[in-house]
Structure 1
Amino acid sequence: MHKHCVFIFFILCIYTTQSQTTLKDSTKVSQDSIKKTEFLKQIGNGFFPTNYLNIDLRYLFKYNQYEGVRTGLGGITNKRFSEHYRLNGYLVYGFLDHNFKYSIGGGFRLASKSNTWLNLSYTDDLQETGSSAFLTDKRFFQFFEPRLLNINLFHKHITKAITLEHKLSKHLLTETQFAVSNINPTYSYEYLKNDKILNEFHLSTAKVALQWSPFSKFEVSEDDLIKEIKSGYPKFTLQYTHAFEDVFRSNINFSKLDFRTVYQLNYTKESYTQATVVAGMVSGDTPLTHLYHAYPNNITKETILQRFSVAGINSFETMYFNEFFSDRFSTFQLKHYFQPFNISERYKPQLVLITRYAIGNMGNIDRHQNITFNTLEDGYSESGFEINKLLFGFGLSFAYRYGAYHLPKTEDNVAFKFTFNVSL
């Protein structure tokens, strides 16, 4: 009897041990799966995670017409380093201009529930002339940065900034920045201000940005943080910038207002229509560096094949670089994504129809010396299509320029490029 009891107990012990082992193995597999998913998510966001530092993949390799090959290293500390403090920075080198560029900064969390951070930074780098970015934009990473390949109009800037990030509510994100910048165009340019010619600009600016997502869905996580679990549309972004004259030796005074809204109508998970409206206006003494260029992405070369390059995401593919500048402008873009062609399990190319429109103008053009450009008061139009994911994430793009700014030679109105789309 005792032998039978011992045998039964032994069998139960073996079964329990096997169950625990299976449970541990199952838990380990589950944890490994979670880690792999998180790792791929980090890579998709442009980071290679390590124990205390996430390496920023954006700085490994880039190319543009001014720097040539631009390579370096950057990163930001993660939660394992500290949940209350963070350090970030990068160092890159341009092989064509033979110059180092760098940034160093850090921040500390003031409140966790509202994700409030106070950040400080010092940056010595280049910026594309005529570009405008919102402070509240989430980090955006691409393996290819299409427009960057052909940009040649940059200005150098040394910027010291203090920034406050704060989430007012589940649907409203804010960011405020005060910055002091010294700006030097890398091209021959002068700005005429009150009979004085300026070729260097000292700016003291204050920015306030709001991002409102009234139809997105949020939840409060276990650590009491507010997280977006589903994107809702429309979304609105508004930013106001003011440059103060005679503050920290500033010699420029202007006000700038930027607006963007995005609306998306979903039919299925992969078929939808997306509309984007962007607008901006500047008043005051504003050099070309802080005006608008409407995001062109076409090279000034003779033939269609010579202009063959990478298509952008929200850029005008038939608009030539440095062709238009504005101190007030608006763009409209409409994209319709068809359901992917289900040719096989792994081969599913997708057709996208695209139309874009831009309008703008500029006052006091004669203040901008040593540079020539057009304005958009008659309205700029282009339409076309993309066939994405034809082979290894690569596809093809076609766009045609028509309307008021249609060019005499037909081939000059055509943009034929390749696209690159990959998801991790």
Structure 2
Amino acid sequence: MLRHCFLFCIFLFSLSLSAQTPKDSTRVAQDSTKSDVLLKQIGNGFFPTSFWNFDLRYLVKFNQYEGFRTGLGGVTNDGFSEKYRIDSYVVYGFKDHRFKYKIGGGARLNEDTKTWFNFSYTDDLLESGSSKFLTDSRFFSFFEPRLLNIDLFHKHITSAVSLEHQITPNLTTETQLAISNIRPTYSYNYVLDDKSYDDFETTTATVSLQWSPFNQYKTKDDKLVETKNGFPKFSLQYTKSFREVLDADFNFSKLDFRTIHKITHKNKSYTTGVLTAGLAHGDTPLTHLYHAYPNNINKATILSRFSVAGINSFETMFFNEFFSDRFTTLVAKHYFKPFAIAEKFNPQLVLISRFAIGNINNIGRHQNVSFGTLKHGYTETGLEINKLLLGFGLSLTYRYGGYHLPKFNDNIALKFTFNITL
């Protein structure tokens, strides 16, 4: 419903632009450019005003712990300042009856190298077992399917400072120092040195790099503009947690790696591959382990598990089924040329194969939770038929190999897909 209202507003805005009677061709071109810029901004998840860009990610979301989550947030734009920015939000969960917020900002230290010093104070939730690269580009989707079924969150209050820096146009870095108070929302204890922790403090330093060696750029109006989004791309991140520094409880380190590749074929089809690996060493609680991005609900029948497929998630892997302190996943997809059935009906067939392997040391330290390991290798294969109606399609995935389940139906995931581009 929100998506339709949103698109309807865009449609009305476009009509209002086209209804104007331009005085000359220059005015028509300017209006068209403004409309294109607005649509691009909205497609990136922002609604711009003169000095503040509202972030559409905070309007409405849903998950199993908060229920509906709604609020407002955003970041200042060049109309406010080219050298300083404010980046903040506030949201409310209707199921847990709790406000979450972030107060943040930044100062530009060098324009040519896009060097920014940032600070933030965040009181919010994170999915336990998730991992994110600091250098990842901001991701926005009108509909985040995996989020609907997540129930394993931990509360965190985090104070952080970071430094963004572009070494070259193809190599960017971000370094962060953070202090966090973490409290799982589920029953969990981590046992270390005869002490049981149900909440804990961490003090971490993180260095993240993103290398896109095949991107191409040109100078336009004294600014560097990307002309080609090349592949493969590489991300590397190292995190170190220091025990007894600012009252931190655990000493551990994490090393994360990811590469993304895309091969475009002559017949307008293309193939993508995402290889991800992670290694956690030391006294690592469940909140900071790896879960391989499962996306299947723990229910009895295929139809009761019917939901929406994610992008790189494992559709037949049940939530909270596996955790690892070292793992590797590979997701390969082949997109066929869209079927030209009608002018506005061009469904697309996608073949998908996913593989994950991992393991964990000291599993007995994790109390009040039950999960398995990926040491035998997890495999699933499936297909999607996308863009059948209003951006929706269908996905069918089958689980086989080392973690094939005894009941045949439990190995099958039938779901919606959702793809829309403004």
| Superposed pair shares fold, TM > 0.5 | yes
Q: Decide whether aligned partners of structure 1 residues 254 and 34 sit closer, same or farther in structure 2, where only a CA change above 3 A counts.
A: same
* 1:221 aligned partner: 220
CA distance in 2, matches of 1:89, 1:174: 22
* 1:309 aligned partner: 307
What is the TM-score of this pair, normalised by structure 2? 0.94
- 1:108-257 aligned at under 5 Å gives the runs 108-224=107-223, 226-257=224-255
Asked if structure 1 preserves the Cα contact closer than 8 Å seen for 2:22 and 2:28, the reply is no
Gaps of 5+ in 2: 1-20
Cα distance, 1:221 vs structure 2: 3.2
CA distance in 1, matches of 2:160, 2:386: 40
What do the CA deviations read for 1:292-325 (whole angstroms, capped 9, x no partner)? 0000000000110100001000000000000000
CA distance in 1, matches of 2:22, 2:59: 41
What do the CA deviations read for 1:72-130 (whole angstroms, capped 9, x no partner)? 11111111111111001111000100000000100011111111111110000000000
* Identical pairs, percent: 65
Residue 386 (1) aligns with residue 390 (2): no
Q: Give the counterpart of 2:334 among 333, 336, 339.
A: 336
What do the CA deviations read for 1:243-292 (whole angstroms, capped 9, x no partner)? 01111111111010000001110014852000110000000100000000
CA distance in 1, matches of 2:131, 2:218: 32
Residue type of the alignment partner of 1:317: E
Where 1:142 maps in the other structure, the secondary structure is coil
CA distance in 2, matches of 1:175, 1:220: 24
Residue type of the alignment partner of 1:111: N
CA distance in 1, matches of 2:269, 2:115: 36
Residue type of the alignment partner of 2:89: Y
* 1:420 aligned partner: 418
Residue 289 (1) aligns with residue 287 (2): yes
* 1:55 aligned partner: 54
Residue type of the alignment partner of 2:338: P
CA distance in 1, matches of 2:22, 2:327: 61
Cα distance, 1:228 vs structure 2: 2.2
What do the CA deviations read for 1:376-407 (whole angstroms, capped 9, x no partner)? 00000000000000001000000000001000
What do the CA deviations read for 1:17-43 (whole angstroms, capped 9, x no partner)? xxxxx9962111111111111101110
What do the CA deviations read for 1:182-215 (whole angstroms, capped 9, x no partner)? 0000001000111111111101101000000011
Where 2:148 maps in the other structure, the secondary structure is helix
Residue 321 (1) aligns with residue 345 (2): no
Gaps of 5+ in 1: 1-21
Q: Give the counterpart of 2:357 among 350, 356, 359.
A: 359
CA distance in 1, matches of 2:267, 2:211: 24
CA distance in 2, matches of 1:210, 1:228: 19
CA distance in 1, matches of 2:277, 2:380: 18
**How many residues of Structure 1 are paired with residues of Structure 2 in the alignment?**
402
* 1:96 aligned partner: 95
CA distance in 2, matches of 1:219, 1:243: 40
CA distance in 1, matches of 2:86, 2:109: 15
CA distance in 2, matches of 1:302, 1:223: 60
**Structure 1 runs (4+) greater than 6 angstroms displaced:** none
What do the CA deviations read for 1:136-164 (whole angstroms, capped 9, x no partner)? 00010011111100000000000001011
CA distance in 1, matches of 2:153, 2:39: 33
CA distance in 2, matches of 1:151, 1:165: 31
* 2:297 aligned partner: 299
Residues 226-235 or 274-283, more deviating: 226-235
CA distance in 2, matches of 1:220, 1:112: 15
CA distance in 2, matches of 1:205, 1:75: 26
